[in-house]
Structure 1
Amino acid sequence: MVKKSSIYHLPVGNGDMTLLKIASNNRYFYVLVDMYIRQSCTEEDDQCNVLDELHNLLEKDCDGRPYLDALVLTHPDKDHIGGFEKYFYQGSPSDYAPAKNGEKDRIFVREIWSSPLVFRRKSKKHSLCEDAKVFNTEAKRRVELYRESKAIGAEGDRIRLIGEDIDGKTSDILGIVYKPGEVISKINEATLKELSIDIYGPLSDDEFEDNEALEKNRSSVILRWGIASHGYSDPTNFVLLAGDASVEAWEIIWEKFKGSPQKLSYDLLLAPHHCSWHTLSHDSYSESDNPKVSETAKKALSQARTGAVIISSSDPIKDDKNDPPNFGAKKEYESIVSSAKGTFLCLADNIANGETAPSVLEYRLTNAGPQKASKTSSTDSTSSAKKRTAATSTLIGHSGQAIGHG
């Protein structure tokens, strides 16, 4: 059977958890971008049990360990790293032991991707949650192994840093650093011809006009995933994942790419910061009588391909002043996808008939673009791929060092 790539958006309330299952080299590569595994999700009927869902989607290695080829952390807020300490293995691979008392085995992470720069910014004004502290300790362990040996270690000891740290703190380990502007085609030391990842963030300190933008801790890792069908090399699926990247970040990004906006194009966009108004505006939605949208930031987020889908990984979006998720931001995203014959979806609304909890939203990544696979009561019954095909047919037919882990 021909292997097909897929992307799974796991509903976690106001948080992010996205699994990429990439078909290449006659196998699947599993990449998790952020996580928010709440204890309540295993106990409450109105929440998706994302821990069970994740285990059901993953494979086990020859040692019986459920594994990820890579775990990508966009930034260390709890709603992007919650559950790491309890559900993911930390430490030397040789010390891994199966779970006891009928509990699930911890997920084995072959390679970590993270940004020491974003961790450092977090520490300036905000303390790290316990999961982030544990993650940072594990990241430092892996960095030190590379620093000592100057060689990529075994699976379970590997790490890639997204962006250089300040003051040359990563200058001696550049062999594991990916820099903004580069293109990644490798996962866990395997080259995938079907993969090309553009790095757009984190932005460096000198790209921001003032420190306030940095203190907001919204300069997340920003990656655009280009994925081709298995065996091909030209991407036909573009997925933009940007953590909590703020309005300031998107304004800078647009200035960089306004001459080549196709570099920001996407089929699937996870609305940054859980559909927050502050991704699109400098004004407070609740305190301003007439909050203004930053047209520059909106242009950066408006490069939707035909049939594109913008997804809000959030609680239900209501017509009120809440933020995030924010009703005003939802309306702006709806205007973006409307012009592209696309769709806006909220994961909290992805509820199948007869169910009480949201379901995992799956898109298969095909030669014709993403095709929606989940069966829900949502009005989005037409895949972006079908819309793009229909549109094409129409055209043809009618014409400090304390916290950074580097």
Structure 2
Amino acid sequence: MSKKSTISHIPVGNGDMTLMKIASNDTYHYVLVDMHIRQNGESDDDKCDALSSLYDLLDKDDEGRPYVDVLILTHPDEDHIRGFRENFHSGSPDDYVEPKDGENGKIFVREIWSSPLIFRRKSKNNSLCKDATAFNTEAKRRVELYKAEKQIGKQGDRIRLIGEDEDGKTDEILDIVYQNEDVIDTLNEVYIKELSARVLGPLADDEFEDNTSPDKNRSSIIIQWGLASHGYSSPSNYILLAGDAGVEVWDVLWEKYKNNTDMLQYDILLAPHHCSWHTLSHDSFSDSDNPQVSEDAKSALGEARPGAVIVSSSDEIKDDDNDPPNYKAMKEYESITEENDGTFQCLADYKPSSGKAPEVLTYKLTITGPQEEAKTSEASSGTAKKAARTAATGTLFTGAGNAIGHG
């Protein structure tokens, strides 16, 4: 049976960790977007073991190293990069340390996608956590290698930048820079005919009307992933991943694309900033008696295709004043999915095996849209985590086996 592309949302509380397995020529290409991996000793019975879940989803290369083809950091907040130093290899590929018997090796990163703006704007307003500093150091190492060699290096040394740096700092390396509205069809320098990933952000400073210093969340990398089913080239699945992009970003994107809304369409949306109210409103939820939704921002986030899923990578959403996740924001997203016969799914509530801990939510990306991958209870099956799962079902909206999207 030919391989099928999937997207897996790993539950990590208020944080993001998304793995796409993109199938092409019967080969998987692994793309990890953000991570929030708790340190050893912090796991609880009611929390998903994110690191073990990631290892279960990955393969090893010919040298026995678990790997990702592309690692993307949308922005350097700790809840998007936690665990990088301890669990991912940095430095020259030649310095990779083989694990001891019975242990998992560090994850080998073949190619990094990063943005200089996410670090520049972060440093103006907030200090970097240790994991973000380590990631930035590794990204700079790879950029300097490219500058010295004037060509893409070997796996483990590769980097692509999303957006230009300020003051012309990337002018001499534009060959490795993806600009906004560019369509990407390569991963780790391999052409993928099933892939059409469109860059939507980070936005440049001059795209915002105000003159204030750009907030770090404005700088989040935003990509609309168009993915065809294996063997096809026309996308049948659209996934919108946007880090912590706030309301100002979505206002601008709506103004840019309100006459070309295909640029914002999705079958799966990861609710930005863990279902925060600040993604949908300029009003403070805690300081305002009647906070109002920005209609432009909601319109930009409302281009759901039939049967679309909005996923909240967050803690449990309660009817209280927390933000994120925010109950009123959830209700706004639910109004979008209800209008399009879709669903809203909070990862903290996804427990199909009826255990205490939330589980990885995976969708197969098929020719008729995403299908939720069914889970088999470990208690009843006695299988290990990596045992084969049952066929995908579409019971969220229609009969078993039907795709959730495209009506």
TM-score range, shorter chain: over 0.9
Q: 2 CA distance for matches of 1:387 and 1:12?
A: 24
Q: 2 CA distance for matches of 1:79 and 1:326?
A: 17
Report deviation, 1:326: 0.2
Task: Give the alignment of 1:35-54 within 5 angstroms.
Answer: 35-39=35-39, 43-54=43-54
Q: Mean Cα displacement is larger for which, 95-104 or 235-244? A: 95-104
Q: 2 CA distance for matches of 1:353 and 1:178?
A: 41
2:60 matched to which residue of 1? Answer: 60
Q: Secondary structure at the match of 1:131?
A: helix
Q: Which amino acid aligns with 1:285?
A: F
1:165 matched to which residue of 2? Answer: 165
Q: Secondary structure at the match of 1:218?
A: helix
Q: 2 CA distance for matches of 1:26 and 1:250?
A: 37
Query: Does residue 3 of the first structure (1) align with residue 3 of the second (2)?
Result: yes
Q: Percent identity?
A: 63
Alignment check: 8 A CA contact 1:350 1:376 kept: no
RMSD: 1.6
Task: Give the alignment of 1:371-386 within 5 angstroms.
Answer: 371-375=371-375, 381-382=395-396, 386=403
2:104 matched to which residue of 1? Answer: 104
Task: Give the alignment of 1:226-245 within 5 angstroms.
Answer: 226-245=226-245
1:358 matched to which residue of 2? Answer: 358
Alignment check: 8 A CA contact 2:371 2:404 kept: no
Alignment check: 8 A CA contact 1:152 1:158 kept: yes
Q: 1 CA distance for matches of 2:113 and 2:185?
A: 14
Report deviation, 1:388: 4.0
Q: 1 CA distance for matches of 2:169 and 2:41?
A: 39
Q: Which amino acid aligns with 2:209?
A: E
Q: Secondary structure at the match of 1:69?
A: strand
Q: 1 CA distance for matches of 2:322 and 2:334?
A: 18
Q: Which amino acid aligns with 1:221?
A: I
Q: 2 CA distance for matches of 1:387 and 1:35?
A: 27
Alignment check: 8 A CA contact 1:277 1:326 kept: yes
Report deviation, 1:208: 1.3
What runs of 5+ residues in structure 2 fail to find an aligned partner?
Answer: 378-393
1:300 matched to which residue of 2? Answer: 300
Q: 1 CA distance for matches of 2:98 and 2:208?
A: 46
What runs of 5+ residues in structure 1 fail to find an aligned partner?
Answer: 392-406
Q: 2 CA distance for matches of 1:324 and 1:374?
A: 28
Q: Which amino acid aligns with 1:299?
A: S
1:252 matched to which residue of 2? Answer: 252
Deviations 1:67-115 (A, max 9, x none): 0000011000000000000000001001111123743210000000000
TM-score normalised over the length of structure 1 = 0.93
Q: Secondary structure at the match of 1:110?
A: strand
1:315 matched to which residue of 2? Answer: 315
Deviations 1:9-40 (A, max 9, x none): 00000000000000002200000000000126
Q: Secondary structure at the match of 1:128?
A: coil
Q: 2 CA distance for matches of 1:387 and 1:162?
A: 31
Q: 1 CA distance for matches of 2:54 and 2:124?
A: 33
Deviations 1:271-321 (A, max 9, x none): 000000000000011111100000000000000000000000000000011
Q: 1 CA distance for matches of 2:258 and 2:376?
A: 37
Q: Which amino acid aligns with 1:386?
A: A
Task: Give the alignment of 1:6-405 within 5 angstroms.
Answer: 6-39=6-39, 43-100=43-100, 102-212=102-212, 214-375=214-375, 381-382=395-396, 386-388=403-405, 391=407
Q: Secondary structure at the match of 1:226?
A: strand
Q: 1:387 to 1:29 in 2, by over 3 A?
A: closer
Q: Secondary structure at the match of 1:217?
A: helix
Report deviation, 1:213: 6.2
Q: 1:33 to 1:388 in 2, by over 3 A?
A: closer
Q: 1 CA distance for matches of 2:261 and 2:68?
A: 33
Deviations 1:226-257 (A, max 9, x none): 00011100000000000000000000000000
